[in-house]
Amino acid sequence: MKNPISEEALAQIFLEARTYNGWLDKPVTDEQLRQVYNLMKWGPTSANSSPARFVFIRSQAGKERLRPALSAGNVDKTMVAPVTVIVAYDLQFHEKLLQLFPHKPAMRDLFASNAPLGEETARRNSSLQGAYLIIAARALGLDCGPMSGFDNAKLDAEFFPGGGVKSNFLCNIGYGDPSTFSARLPRLDFDDACTIL
């Protein structure tokens, strides 16, 4: 039987973690981004499909390409964040299933022959993978600022012009500036959000 992780680890990943809107001037390295990915990739996805694709934007040129797609309220915090990740999904993810799910080759054909099922599966599982990315980043000592608030069509035209990959959400990553937020907002209690049958 596995032991629960420590209270300190739970606090770092969930209980004390915050969605940051301000960032310290401290870089995130390529090695850190690789560590985040190499940790999060082990999270489960449907048929091990792993449809998420990640674009880590760190350069000023990359941020300027992103700027026109951002909602006004997301521009400033994104421009100063050490890294902004486009969490996207590959509509042709099924082409990797012979590698990722080799014991059932028919799964590739199932998704290849049913585009609506493929897109629904890709969007849902890329959302899961984006959540794993946040957990992995927090576990490795980084802070995150996930967000909607952008024009998907504009972003996709700029970063994924072929149409085979679509954006899901954005996430700023770095070292959060704790002076940039107020008191933590409440969450629903168990009885308000959950049912046990």
pLDDT digits (tens, 9 = 90+) for 69-86: 999 999 999 999 999 999
Give the pLDDT confidence of 87-106 residue by residue, as tens digits.
999 999 999 999 999 999 99
Residue 1 has pLDDT above 80, yes or no: yes
Which residues have a Cβ under 8 Å from the Cβ of 45 and sit 6 or more positions away? Answer: 51, 125, 128, 129
Q: How confident is the model at residue 14 (pLDDT cuts 50, 70, 90)?
A: very high
- Closest of 165, 181, 56 to residue 119, by C-alpha: 165
Residue 88 is predicted with a pLDDT of: 98
Residue 180 is predicted with a pLDDT of: 84
Which residues have a Cβ under 8 Å from the Cβ of 88 and sit 6 or more positions away? Answer: 52, 53, 54, 55, 126, 159, 160, 165, 166, 167, 168
177 secondary structure, DSSP code: -
Question: What CATH number belongs to 7-176?
Answer: 3.40.109.10
Residue 7 is predicted with a pLDDT of: 96
Give the pLDDT confidence of 150-160 residue by residue, as tens digits.
999 999 999 99
Q: What distance in Å separates the CA atoms of residue 175 and residue 101, rounded to the nearest whole number?
A: 36
- The distance between the two most distant Cα atoms of the chain, rounded to a whole number of Å, is 53
Residue 131 is predicted with a pLDDT of: 98
Computed over every residue of the chain, the mean pLDDT equals: 96
Of the chain, the percentage scoring pLDDT greater than 70 comes to 100
Q: What distance in Å separates the CA atoms of residue 141 and residue 146, rounded to the nearest whole number?
A: 16
Please give the structure tokens belonging to residue 166.
Answer: 């679509």
Residue 35 is predicted with a pLDDT of: 98
Q: Stretch 45-50: mean pLDDT, rounded?
A: 97
Indicate the residue type of 145: G
Residue 48 is predicted with a pLDDT of: 97
Q: Strand 143-147 vs strand 52-57: parallel, antiparallel, or unpaired?
A: unpaired
Of the chain, the percentage scoring pLDDT greater than 90 comes to 95
Q: What distance in Å separates the CA atoms of residue 12 and residue 151, rounded to the nearest whole number?
A: 31
Q: What distance in Å separates the CA atoms of residue 109 and residue 171, rounded to the nearest whole number?
A: 32
Residue 2 is predicted with a pLDDT of: 87
Give the pLDDT confidence of 103-133 residue by residue, as tens digits.
999 999 999 999 999 999 999 999 999 999 9
Residue 113 is predicted with a pLDDT of: 96
Which residues have a Cβ under 8 Å from the Cβ of 115 and sit 6 or more positions away? Answer: 91
Please give the structure tokens belonging to residue 12.
Answer: 């770092």
Domain segments of the chain as ranges: 7-176
- Closest of 88, 87, 82, 37 to residue 173, by C-alpha: 82
